[in-house]
Structure 1
Amino acid sequence: MSSKKPHFGFIALTLIAESFLIYASILVKISEVSPIMLGFYRIFLALPIFALFSISKKGFCLPQKRDLLFMILSGVFFGLDLLFFNLALRNTSVANVNLISSLACFVLVPIGLIFFGEKLRLFFVLGALIAIIGVFVLINGKNALSVANPFGDMLAFLSMVSYSGFLALIYNLRRKYETLQIMFFSGLGAGGFLLIAGSVIEGFSLPSDSKQWLIVALIALFGQVLGQGFFGYIMGKISAQLSSLLLLFSPVIAALMGYVILGEYISAMEILGIFIILFGVFLAQR
């Protein structure tokens, strides 16, 4: 695929999707449901919505067998991502998890170059380097105010690798199939994997009361239907390079949402890191 300059609307939609995903991660932090089963319910509650809208679309048809297997396989990677991500959120801060997840660009960019024939542009390289510097500035600001948990950070790293695999698999599928169709069949793979893993590791369980069901429903809505659905949609609209670079906005959004929702203090170093990342992404999409 040749390099292409993205429309600003797709970039804005990416940032909105990231905001939904980070809000869902905050809800995971406060939920009393066990983390792996929580991942299963996130998928399970979203599947009927994806199925309903996918089947109602004009020209709906089942994917080819090979593509169907890739969709289900991508779902297993996404299930692994949710497993490690939710466990990480129970062992370290929301900010740390999103900081590490934002480094998916180190995995996605080589995939785009090797498998999808994307060209590496000079402005992208310069912008990426500047944005990565901004991430490290933001990390240093966080380290001065919070204590990182090495085990939780390791789980977040495994989540990032799994999510990169998911994005790489659906990237090419997005050119042939509708987002809702991909999200439904990949959801079958993710839901099946998480149900088995959760039942074996944690034991099958249900949310204890209506409040917990509401939290689970909001996680499914913001994390899966809106956040993941939007992100799946834009994967076929912008390059793997830019989509991976936009993941560097996650620590920016996490810092801002942490301040607004949780009252977490934002240091001057973090603010500097935010502006460096913004400039890097602006330069990279030129």
Structure 2
Amino acid sequence: MEKPAIHPYIPIIVGVISVAMSAIFVKMTNADSGVTAFYRMLFSILIMSPLFFFKYTHEVKKLSKRDWFFTTIAGIFLAFHFILWFESLNYTSVASSTVLVTLQPLFAFAGTYFFFKEKLSVKTIVSALIAIGGSVLIAYGDFKISGQALFGDILALIACALITAYLLFGQDIRKRLSLVTYTFVVYGVSTITLFFYIVLKGESFGPYPAQEWMWFVLLAIIPNLLGHTLFNWALKWVSTNVISIAILFEPVGAAILAYFILGEYLNASQIIGGTVVILGIMFFIIDYEKVKKIFFKIFP
């Protein structure tokens, strides 16, 4: 295999920082959550449009009616994931919200258990219990602060369930389409969903001050396009597990950025609970047999 121009871990680190910026940008906006989500999706597809229409439109013909149905469902789930996650940031801290959204791997396994009858291993059950314990600690600490913070935590958990549903509905189609085509189509469905959501709620599409437009564009470019593009580039050189573990550090990066940019402080329950959640999910993701083999190769 050819060597990468730069070490893969460098783009991965940049990717983690990029996705961690998402919550910060949302906190900086004054627009409604649905409007912020709409413009994030809209600007993403506008930026992708030249590449998609120049090189990938032929792939859309491969989509069957069933594919369009599942893609539409996936796009709707993605839209409401952003609405609820952005809304959660109005009530709870960046740290609590982003940590709870990282529970996605466990939600995914729960989904495959109930819908695809995949067996639960002891490792999965232990991981889930550890992560749930961490979530309870976060929720308990936030409840002591205010009922609003706890409400924000609940919204973040529902947002996590919705992003899991989005991934489950889209996983089969994603295997048969390029990243560009799949992303463009799903983002398009999500944008249309958000448009009607805003109309039905009577929220405003504008006008907004220049600073608001800057946050909308940055949300599209940095976490949406740059962050996930870098992760997908790195997959050529590293395993999926490395990316999965790296993404777990999004809440760590987000909490640090929130401290310096927004002045958000962490309480003890957030620090302990967040650490427990990340360790629980890391335990779920890591293949310990492979780790042992690598360890004994280095230290025979």
Q: Shorter-normalised TM-score: what interval?
A: 0.7 to 0.9
Q: Which one of 42, 46, 49 corresponds to residue 48 of structure 1? A: 46
Give TM-score scaled by structure 2 length: 0.72
CA gap of 1:59–1:218, structure 2 versus 1, over 3 A, is closer
Q: Which amino acid aligns with 2:33?
A: P
- Encode CA deviations 1:192-247: one digit per residue, 9 max, x unaligned: 11111112213442242222211111111123223455678899x748xx96x987
Secondary structure in structure 1 of the residue aligned to 2:59: coil
What is the number of equivalent residue pairs in this alignment? 273
- Encode CA deviations 1:95-125: one digit per residue, 9 max, x unaligned: 3433443343453112234556766554444
Structure 1: distance between partners of 2:195 and 2:80: 12
Q: Which amino acid aligns with 1:64?
A: L
CA gap of 1:154–1:131, structure 2 versus 1, over 3 A, is closer
Structure 1: distance between partners of 2:57 and 2:193: 29
> CA offset at residue 282 of structure 1?
4.2
2:291 aligned partner: none
What is the 5 A alignment of 1:110-149?
Answer: 110-113=110-113, 120-140=120-140, 146-149=145-148
Gaps in structure 1 of 5+ consecutive residues: 1-8
CA gap of 1:84–1:130, structure 2 versus 1, over 3 A, is closer
Secondary structure in structure 1 of the residue aligned to 2:266: coil
Secondary structure in structure 2 of the residue aligned to 1:61: helix
Q: In proportion to residue count, which structure has more helix?
A: 2
1:20 aligned partner: 18
Gaps in structure 2 of 5+ consecutive residues: 1-7, 288-300
1:212 aligned partner: 212
CA gap of 1:89–1:71, structure 2 versus 1, over 3 A, is same
Which deviates more from structure 2 when the two are superposed, residues 76-85 or residues 184-193? Answer: 76-85
Structure 2: distance between partners of 1:48 and 1:198: 19
CA gap of 1:23–1:246, structure 2 versus 1, over 3 A, is same
1:68 aligned partner: 68
Task: Give the aligned CA root-mean-square deviation in angstroms.
Answer: 3.8
The question of whether the paired residues in 2 share the 8 Å contact of 1:74 and 1:165 is answered with yes
> CA offset at residue 86 of structure 1?
2.4
The question of whether the paired residues in 2 share the 8 Å contact of 1:72 and 1:188 is answered with no
Structure 2: distance between partners of 1:262 and 1:50: 31
Structure 2: distance between partners of 1:80 and 1:151: 17
Q: Which amino acid aligns with 1:53?
A: L
- Encode CA deviations 1:162-211: one digit per residue, 9 max, x unaligned: 22211211222222212221110011111111111112213442242222
1:104 aligned partner: 104
> CA offset at residue 57 of structure 1?
4.8
Q: Which one of 27, 31, 34 corresponds to residue 33 of structure 1? A: 31
The question of whether the paired residues in 2 share the 8 Å contact of 1:74 and 1:169 is answered with yes
Which deviates more from structure 2 when the two are superposed, residues 69-78 or residues 118-127? Answer: 118-127
